[in-house]
Amino acid sequence: MTVLVGLDVGTTGVKALALSPEGEVLARAERGYPLSTPLPGWSEQDPEDWWRASEAALADLGVEPAGIGLSGQMHGLVCLDSEERVLRPAILWNDQRTGEECAEIEERVGLERLIALTGNRALTGFTAPKLLWVRRHEPDLYARIAHVLLPKDYVRLRLTGVRAIDVADASGTLLFDVAGRRWSGEVLDALDLPAEWLPEALESPEVSGHWSGIPVAAGSGDQAAAALGVGIDRPGPVSVVLGTSGVVLAALPAFQADPQARVHAFCHAVPGGWQAMGVMLSAAGSLAWLRDVAGGTWDELTAEAATWPPGAEGLTFLPYLQGERTPHADPGARGAFTGLSLRHDRGALARAVLEGVAYGLRDSLDLLRALGVEAEVGRASGGGARSDLWLRIVASVLGIPLERTVSEEGSAYGAALLGGVAAGVFTDVHEAVAACVRVRDTVEPEPGWRGAYDEGHRRYQALYPALRPLEAPA
């Protein structure tokens, strides 16, 4: 029997998934690992943890795959020496230490030129500013760098012995010419970074190497893979992800960057395709935080939240717990609850968190609409999409129905489809999506919630400019 495997190297753990060529999930395995925050705003992981977890998850699956696809948390910096040894813990996508380096990049390249070349502005989570941070703060270590990889590409190196990346993940480094689908010599020169450090950039379904003779697809960053996993291979529905991060992603008919780069413009995991997305740093991550500080399980919190009316009697949550990217590219932004009263209990806090994240997603959707994206329906994935209540809230706040697919496996599912193309099981990504992805159910907006949520979103949008002066500078 033909089996396709997707391996997603996430922030909280690795997920391995085995699929039939019809898209049926045959087996799944997950292995977790820790995240360390040595200083406020810092976020690091040990690349060897990813590798140990990946090996174990692949062994747990217990299958003989025809092809493997990789996906993973984006933007993380893995520095290797000339012997391909890890030089320091990886600096992750949600790390916020590089405010100064972002300013330096925009100064050196020029903001307009940077957006024209890379489709993006310098954001703290992206890879290039992290490299400049290491150069400034750890010069001895910087002098030993010979190779730079992203998280899933480190796992690829250990799996296949090959240093490679895909164009979708490379787009998130800020060193990539997104329109031209190649490394940007101009940006590398302006930042004085050696092109030799970077791996070869392949299209996502291309074979990057082999593991025990099994082809391993280049794969993609987790957001592009999640979009494929819910069937977004061309313009149409938008991908709405409620993972640790929260994302609204639209496939674009051609490369297009927002003139102010308020949303990210990246290559899609489909050869010749592009996408734009808005990214919130703490989506399901905000609910996980509430659970950790207020107690209760995920199910208890959402059940208690369901007892509160939309708008939670004026209680509003700002989800900028780790700074933010979209719509406020601001590492110094912070979260807040406002409008608390004696009546509010833990369920009200949970309701406000679910709603605050939904308002943040609406900010991203509004920016995509300003780019000309016609979003009439969304496809939801990520751990938060398992909650009917959260999806009803998000559908109502966005004002569009949200579809769930038969499999809710997100990025690992998309990665497995890419593995299937690399193995020759499908001729291309479109065929893989058509063969495997089916809609299971649709969550409609609640007409009665509309007024409360338009009002709530207005209240939410007023909070950042009002509260920001009270917080530390970026």
Closer residue to ligand XUL in complex, CB, 58/174: 174
Q: Compute the least distance from the CB of residue 11 to ligand XUL, in Å.
A: 5
- Asked if residue 74 binds ligand XUL (CB under 6 A), the reply is yes
Q: Compute the least distance from the CB of residue 170 to ligand XUL, in Å.
A: 13
- Asked if residue 75 binds ligand XUL (CB under 6 A), the reply is yes
Taken in order 258, 468, 290, 35, is the CA torsion positive or negative?
positive
- Asked if residue 73 binds ligand XUL (CB under 6 A), the reply is yes
Q: Compute the least distance from the CB of residue 110 to ligand XUL, in Å.
A: 23
Taking residue 376's Cβ as centre, other Cβ atoms within 10 Å add up to 10
Instruction: Give the number of residues in contact with ligand XUL, rule: CB under 6 A.
Output: 13
Strands 402-405 and 378-381: what pairing?
A: parallel
- Asked if residue 93 binds ligand XUL (CB under 6 A), the reply is yes
Amino acid letter, residue 116: A
Q: Compute the least distance from the CB of residue 93 to ligand XUL, in Å.
A: 4
- Asked if residue 155 binds ligand XUL (CB under 6 A), the reply is no
389, 305 contact by CB (below 8 A): yes
334 contacts: CB under 8 Å, gap ≥ 6: 318, 320, 321, 323, 467, 471
Closer residue to ligand XUL in complex, CB, 117/280: 280
CA distance 10 to 4: 19
- Asked if residue 125 binds ligand XUL (CB under 6 A), the reply is yes
Q: Which stretch binds ligand XUL (CB under 6 A): 73-81, 96-104, 292-300, 458-466?
A: 73-81
Candidate list 6, 11, 51, 216; residue touching ligand XUL; CB under 6 A: 11
Residue for token digits 């499908």? 426
- Say how far residue 48 (Cα) sits from the centre of its chain: 21
Q: Is 140 a known active-site residue?
A: no
Closer residue to ligand XUL in complex, CB, 172/360: 172
Dump strand ranges (E) for 283-329.
316-318
Q: Compute the least distance from the CB of residue 152 to ligand XUL, in Å.
A: 10
Q: Compute the least distance from the CB of residue 450 to ligand XUL, in Å.
A: 28
190-202 burial, b at 16+ Cβ within 10 Å, e below that, comes to bbebeeebbbebb
Closer residue to ligand XUL in complex, CB, 66/249: 249
- According to CB under 6 A, which residues from 195 to 254 bind ligand XUL? 221-223, 245, 247
CA distance 252 to 323: 28
CA distance 102 to 93: 14
Q: Compute the least distance from the CB of residue 276 to ligand XUL, in Å.
A: 11
- Is the bond preceding residue 327 a cis peptide, omega within 30 degrees? yes
DSSP secondary structure letters along 352-413:
HHHHHHHHHHHHHHHHHHHTT-----EEEESGGGG-HHHHHHHHHHHTS-EEEES---THHH
Closer residue to ligand XUL in complex, CB, 276/463: 276
Closer residue to ligand XUL in complex, CB, 249/463: 249
Q: Residue 164 phi/psi, 5° resolution?
A: -155, 165
* Binding map of ligand XUL across residues 279-308, x = CB under 6 A, - = no contact: x-----------------------------
Choosing from 95, 153, 222, 258, which is the catalytic residue? 222
Closer residue to ligand XUL in complex, CB, 247/348: 247
Q: Helices 47-61 and 151-160: crossing angle, nearest 10°?
A: 60
Q: Which residues bind to ligand XUL, rule: CB under 6 A?
A: 11, 73-75, 93, 125, 172, 221-223, 245, 247, 279
Residues annotated as catalytic (active site), given as ranges:
222
